[in-house]
Structure 1
Amino acid sequence: MEIKTFAKGSCNCGGVTFLVTVPIDSVFICHCSICRKSTGSGGIAVTVVPTNSLVIETGQDLIQAWEKPNHDWLTNFCKKCGSPVPGKNDEENSYIPVSLLDSGYENLEVKHHLFVDSKASWEEIGKTGTQHKGAFGV
């Protein structure tokens, strides 16, 4: 049986590839200091999907996880090229850095900005998306 694919993605070196089996349209941008340091930018833009809708096709052995001590925060990255790669968001969902998408990004729209109270002073938040002082719903 063929899996219906709505999006495909890969890391910078192409070692980690994945596909998404549900439609995606929402982007969450986290502006917290941890995400800024993790990406070297103003934060990270991700979409969130049910974990069973994310299929790592290649490179599972290249995925390295790092958990910030004393925080409920975990990031995954490719051991070969350093790109952030999809990872566990919570018990039911996974996050996908939208910059990794090679297809399926056409309908993406920024819906939420998270931790805007800790954004970098030099960063300007765009006009789209609801701004939250902390995590989603806060």
Structure 2
Amino acid sequence: MLEGGCSCGAVRFAIEVTRPDVYVCHCSICRRSSGSNGVAVLVLPNAQFRWLQGEDQVATWRKPGADWQTWFCRHCGARLPGSNDAERMFIPAGALDEQTVGLRVAHHIWVDSRAEWDEIGDAGQQHPEGIHS
């Protein structure tokens, strides 16, 4: 089991998984949301996720006219897990407490949309658009 949370400690969560894949989305929406080259997430079935505290402190923002949203702590603004559908949770890789658990980027998605300055240098598979996991 791995745990994680926000920067201020108001929100905590746990995931039950041994070594999940990391997906990095390089689309323009994720770049703007993160202020970086994209968003790195773990995609897990809902059954492998549980809130430990502060679920009521999670805020969300949905992009108008798009099937995209983000979740964050109401206090410190740190990105947090959330779900776009009834089956899966999207866990920000940087929200995990332990960053040395052998996680590796397995997939880069929306690579055709990446910023010109974004050079991918790992062995993760590159997909021109999104993929269904």
Q: Secondary structure at the match of 2:97?
A: strand
Q: Where do 5+ consecutive residues of structure 2 fail to align? A: none
Does 2:96 correspond to 1:98? no
Say if 2:21 is the partner of 1:26: yes
SS in 2 for 1:87: coil
Q: Determine whether 1:123 maps to 2:118.
A: yes
2:47 paired residue number = 52
Q: Which runs of structure 2 are paired with 1:9-88 in the superposition (5 Å)?
A: 9-88=4-83
Aligned residue number for residue 3 of structure 1? none
Structure 1 vs Structure 2 CA RMSD? 1.4
User: Structure 1: which 5+ runs fail to align?
Assistant: 1-5
AA partner of residue 17 (structure 1): R
Aligned residues of 1:7 and 1:104 also touching (Cα < 8 A): no
Q: Deviations over 1:47-81 (max 9, x none)?
A: 01111211111111210011111111111111111
Give CA deviations for 1:94-136 in whole Å, capped at 9, x if unaligned.
0100101113751211100000111111111123111011101
Q: Distance between the aligned counterparts of 1:83 and 1:46, measured in 2?
A: 14
Between the two proteins, the alignment pairs up a number of residues equal to 132
Q: Name the amino acid aligned to 2:93.
A: V
**What is the CA–CA distance in structure 1 between the aligned matches of 2:66 and 2:58, rounded to whole Å?**
21
Could you tell me whether the CA contact under 8 Å between 2:105 and 2:122 is conserved in 1? no
Quick one: percent identity of the two aligned structures?
45
More moved, 87-96 vs 99-108: 99-108
Aligned AA (1:110): V
